[in-house]
A and B are shown apart, each in its own frame.
Chain A
């Protein structure tokens, strides 16, 4: 298994541009998490899907951020318009959650976003 796949690995864009980050889950996993990591704030949960349904999006900073899961194996995180304060490493993680104890989350390699 290739693990969680994220693309692009690096993205440099100008303020005001639309940015789309992509994530492919591990086959058989049913939960998908988007995180943002900065030195100041650490690793923050942005949104969490279970069986393609958004469960908790309270971490999404504002309306400029949106996430979709069009099928069971793929998700996108879109920022429109992007701002310099959005610069961070964005991680996608997947797990097999079936009630009871939280399963292991498998993280992708991250997308390093720089907004100029």
Chain B
């Protein structure tokens, strides 16, 4: 059983469209991180959300942490080919990293020009 379920698993859309990907769990997390991974490279941190209901924006990317701190979403506005990659969410259950991070399987996103 995957602790963090990400959906959709694969998404291919045209440049300029909007999209939302989801990260869901039945567990509560003290914080949740989103990473982007490009082929042949390691994941790179995009954002950390900590407070239930928190919304953070990074240019065209909007991240939201659920009120109960069990789920999160990533919304991309006017997607561009440079947004292509594997988007991973990762949760910290214990606070301070005592249990390490648990990663979802990710959403493979392709933005077609």
Residues of A within 8 A of B (CB): 4, 31, 33, 35, 41-45, 48, 50, 55-56, 91, 93, 95, 97-110
**What band does the interface of chain B fall in when counting residues whose beta carbon is under 8 Å from A?**
20 to 34
- Asked if residues A97 and B40 are in contact (CB atoms below 8 Å), the reply is no
The secondary structure that dominates the B interface is: loop
**Complex A-B: 22 CB contacts under 8 Å:** A33-B100, A35-B103, A41-B105, A42-B104, A43-B88, A43-B105, A45-B103, A48-B100, A55-B98, A91-B43, A95-B97, A97-B97, A101-B50, A101-B92, A102-B30, A102-B31, A102-B101, A104-B45, A105-B45, A106-B45, A108-B42, A109-B41
Question: Which chain A residue shows the least CB distance to B94?
Answer: A102
Residues of B within 8 A of A (CB): 2, 30-31, 33, 40-45, 48, 50, 88, 92, 95-106
- Asked if residues A31 and B97 are in contact (CB atoms below 8 Å), the reply is yes
Question: Which chain A residue shows the least CB distance to B105?
Answer: A42
- Asked if residues B48 and A101 are in contact (CB atoms below 8 Å), the reply is yes
